[in-house]
Structure 1
Amino acid sequence: MSTRSPLKAGLVALATVFLAACGTTDTGSSSGNTDVATGGRLFATADEETAKLGSDAEQGAFPRTVTHALGETVIEKKPERVVVLDGGELDDVLSLGITPVGLASPESAAGQPSYLADKLAGVPDVGTTNNLNIEAITALQPDLILGSKLRADKLYPQLSSIAPTVFSIRPGFPWKENFLLAADALGEEAQAEEVLNAYQTRAGEVRDAITGEPTISLVRFMSGKIRLYGNLSFIGVILEDVGLPRPQVQDVDELAVEVSQETISQADGDRIFYSSYGAPETTDESAVVGGPLWNQLQAVKDGHAVHVSDETWFLALGPTGAMLVLDDLEKMLAA
């Protein structure tokens, strides 16, 4: 089993083959997320840079100044009309019991994630994550906009002229810190801590339900590429919190490692969980899963390769999605 600490940290940057990260801290924990943060938290966070962001205001007090990826934003009163610009921020606000007045749709899908659909009736779209409709956002008269530097860096001046705008560094990793940042902007710090404590308690329950330490391989088919997801990803953090080890090629402090159809043998593990980003016919999934190299993988021979929901395992990026992934892991791995 990996001895890597969940407090290893890094900023993710795209490289030719790797999506690499830098700047780590190792506390030497030996089994999942055993570090307990101060202040009554049952959970540890994964990225020091993002953990520095937020507000030092008294709990629930306004006005407050929130430090975020692009500076400081003053929020005069508790926000009531929130626009979210990505799936992570959407999951975050809904996990806090707040329905946004507008939201950006994923690039690869028509409409919003199905696992959140019952909470989003009548909420209008404001474009897609990479093609925001500034006029639509303005018309909603928001009093807070939540997004990320990675997605909408160039639009920040326009967005911040519409309403107080708070940006995380990037979506996905580190999702718990991003959730806490959103909660700071909303004045919901105490509720956020309760949500993450419940998540960590559930992660421990899942760990207790699993016999042994199966290595977990994560394969995601995308248009023109195949990724094996590493530790600096939404799902990688969840597996770390449960205490499930990874194959050596994926036990890396990077978002993902890219492989090809010809090198898909690197995807082997005791268990393989795979999905496609978008429609499978737009990726290599069918060709690979139906091909000879995939079917030579030991996990495939053992019947331990399972297709999972891309929108929860890879796109959810928040506590509600994380809890659904824990349910899936327990269902598929419990003795």
Structure 2
Amino acid sequence: MPRVSRLARIAAAALIPLTLAACSSSPAEEGSANSGDWTPVTVEHALGTTTIDSAPERVATVNWANHEVPLALGVVPVGMAAANFGDDNDDGVLPWVEEKLQELDAQTPVLFDETDGIDFEAVADTAPDVILAAYSGLTQEDYDTLSEIAPVVAYPETAWGTSWRDTIELNSAAIGMADEGAELIVELEAEIADAVAEHPQIEGSSAMFLTHVDTSDLSEVSFYTTHDTRALFFEDIGLATPGSVAEASAATDQFSLTHSAEQADTFDDVDIIVTYGGEELIEALEGDPLLAQMPAVENSAVVGLPGDSPLGTAANPTPLSISWVLDDYLSLLAEAADGAQ
């Protein structure tokens, strides 16, 4: 599978400015991004090349967070993946998405249940003109099947490794709103910078993200590599990548790796650990004879994110969630940074 540029390559010399269609709760109007003329858009990605020849009137999205791009730009998808993590009321819609839908006076789109993988029949039933999946873990088979329904925009290089910026760039370009997408990125960058400035102790601390930890078996340590969006976001908020994590990441294109707990001393350069879980997990780490020797654990510089609440999604930035959870996430990191010093 060839590696490609991380950015969408626009076939036309320039995109003609387009206006948003009025948002409505009627199925015929939801998902409409454009009116007027259209210049074909070609996007190269890890699973192929997609050309969108005509203005998409019905936008569908699959996998995590892709629906947040059109929503942030005022376009309501006809269908999107139901939230399966951090959903505190089990309605399949995270609070920042629900808030945006209310702001747009729109009904909740069709929710695709992806518990057992993509529901291709449900996606097809929404009759989309384009399917956004710039941040996803699509297999080639998934992509080929979806492409029989509508043009698909997949991830540019690594499965589940598309940064929030590239997710916005790719998905916004696919619906003819590249300029609006670029403006959204600038706005979010400014918001992040202002929030980070309120927590100066974070700057320069090194951090790693442990994946879901099994407290009944701490013989292995799994962590996200620098190919994962959680580790990438550390750089946005002033945290440094430990040399140990950078070195391990350079040897793979996987978004996570697993080491034996006996190699825990490898991570002596980690100031802060972020993971999913609560006090029980932190106590388990502190009580383990090997993992307790890691400086971050020894100094109680561990941030546990609850998986059953929206805050649990804080480490994985998305266009609408950044504003919602950033302050809380930075406060937790600042507390950990104080302990690490």
Shared fold (TM-score greater than 0.5)?
A: yes
Look up the SS of the partner of 1:214 in the other structure. Answer: coil
- Counterpart of 2:44 (choices 62, 68, 87) is 68
- Counterpart of 1:159 (choices 146, 151, 156) is 146
Structure 2 partner of 1:240: 235
**Tell me, which stretches of 5 or more residues in structure 1 are unaligned?**
1-10, 12-21, 24-47
Matched, 1:228 2:223: yes
Shift of 1:219: 1.5
Matched, 1:88 2:65: yes
Matched, 1:123 2:100: no
* Preserved contact between residue 80 and residue 112 of structure 2 (Cα < 8 Å): yes
Look up the SS of the partner of 1:67 in the other structure. Answer: strand
Look up the SS of the partner of 2:241 in the other structure. Answer: coil
Instruction: Give the structure-1-normalised TM-score.
Output: 0.70
Alignment of 1:105-254 (within 5 A): 105=82, 111-113=92-94, 115-119=96-100, 122-128=108-114, 131-147=117-133, 150-169=137-156, 170-209=159-198, 210-211=200-201, 213-221=204-212, 226-252=221-247, 253-254=249-250
Q: 1:74 to 1:298 in 2, by over 3 A?
A: closer
* Structure possessing the higher relative contact order (Cα contacts under 8 Å, 6 or more residues apart): 1
Percent identity (aligned) = 22
| Deviates further, 53-62 or 92-101 | 53-62
Look up the SS of the partner of 1:243 in the other structure. Answer: coil
* Preserved contact between residue 312 and residue 322 of structure 1 (Cα < 8 Å): no
Matched, 1:320 2:317: no
Q: Which is greater in Rg?
A: 2
Q: 1:98 to 1:146 in 2, by over 3 A?
A: same
Q: 1:329 to 1:118 in 2, by over 3 A?
A: closer
Structure 1 distance, partners of 2:241, 2:144, is 41
Shift of 1:191: 1.8
Structure 1 partner of 2:33: none
Shift of 1:113: 4.1
Structure 1 distance, partners of 2:169, 2:59, is 16
* Preserved contact between residue 69 and residue 168 of structure 2 (Cα < 8 Å): yes
Structure 2 partner of 1:306: 303
Structure 2 partner of 1:42: none
Structure 1 distance, partners of 2:139, 2:83, is 14
* Preserved contact between residue 81 and residue 141 of structure 1 (Cα < 8 Å): yes
Look up the SS of the partner of 2:212 in the other structure. Answer: strand
Structure 2 distance, partners of 1:238, 1:76, is 34
Shift of 1:196: 0.9
| Deviates further, 119-128 or 183-192 | 119-128
TM-align CA RMSD:
3.6
Structure 2 distance, partners of 1:103, 1:289, is 40
**Tell me, which stretches of 5 or more residues in structure 2 are unaligned?**
18-36, 102-106
* Preserved contact between residue 99 and residue 119 of structure 1 (Cα < 8 Å): no
Instruction: Give the structure-2-normalised TM-score.
Output: 0.68
Structure 1 distance, partners of 2:181, 2:296, is 38
Structure 2 partner of 1:58: 15
